[in-house]
């Protein structure tokens, strides 16, 4: 089985929590959500369910690409990173929920969601950790998200 459709190098991927889809990021400026929970013939490749244009631009105004992606345990929020920038996107629509332009003092090298709600601030919430080339690990709270 192969996932074909990106026009440039694939830079990162992750499974959804239910293992029924794979989300990929590419230098072509897109995120794709692939359905892998169906039966295909050996010579047939999985179909793309959704394609989102990446809403991130560099200092020159060129569309950037995501280097890291991770989906929340409930499958509703994508955390994505490019260089110093961290964004949270609605996994259903691709809408930007929040952006941290300078999340680290060096490139973000890793992102991971806590598998369960963590007690931070006003009560249990979804948490995200990022690692950076600046030798730091930072914890973030997920932005408020209404899927409507």
Note the pLDDT tens digit of each residue in 26-66.
888 888 888 887 766 656 666 777 777 766 665 566 667 78
Q: 89 and 120 in contact (C-beta within 8 Å)?
A: no
Domain boundaries of the chain, sorted by first residue:
10-141
Residue 60 burial class via C-beta count within 10 angstroms: exposed 0-12, middle 13-18, buried 19 and up: exposed
Percentage of residues in the chain with pLDDT exceeding 70?
83
> pTM here?
0.77
Quick one: pLDDT band at residue 132, thresholds 50, 70, 90?
Answer: very high
Closest residue by Cα to residue 31 from 74, 85, 71:
71
Integer Cα distance of 74 and 45 in angstroms: 27
Superfamily of domain 10-141: YVTN repeat-like/Quinoprotein amine dehydrogenase (2.130.10.10)
């Amino acid at each position: 089985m192969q996932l074909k459709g990106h026009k440039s190098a694939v830079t990162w991927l992750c499974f959804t929590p239910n293992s029924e889809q794979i989300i990929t990021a590419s230098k072509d400026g897109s995120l794709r959500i692939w359905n892998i929970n169906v039966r295909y013939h050996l010579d047939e490749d999985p179909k793309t369910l959704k394609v989102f244009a990446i809403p991130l631009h560099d200092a020159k105004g060129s569309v950037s690409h995501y280097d890291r992606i991770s989906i929340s345990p409930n499958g509703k929020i994508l955390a994505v990173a490019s260089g110093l920038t961290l964004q949270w996107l609605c996994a259903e629509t691709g809408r930007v929920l929040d952006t941290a332009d300078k999340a680290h003092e060096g490139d973000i090298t890793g992102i991971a969601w806590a598998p369960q709600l963590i007690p931070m601030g006003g009560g249990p919430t979804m948490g995200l950790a990022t690692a950076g080339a600046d030798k730091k690990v930072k914890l973030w709270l997920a932005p408020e998200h209404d899927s409507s």
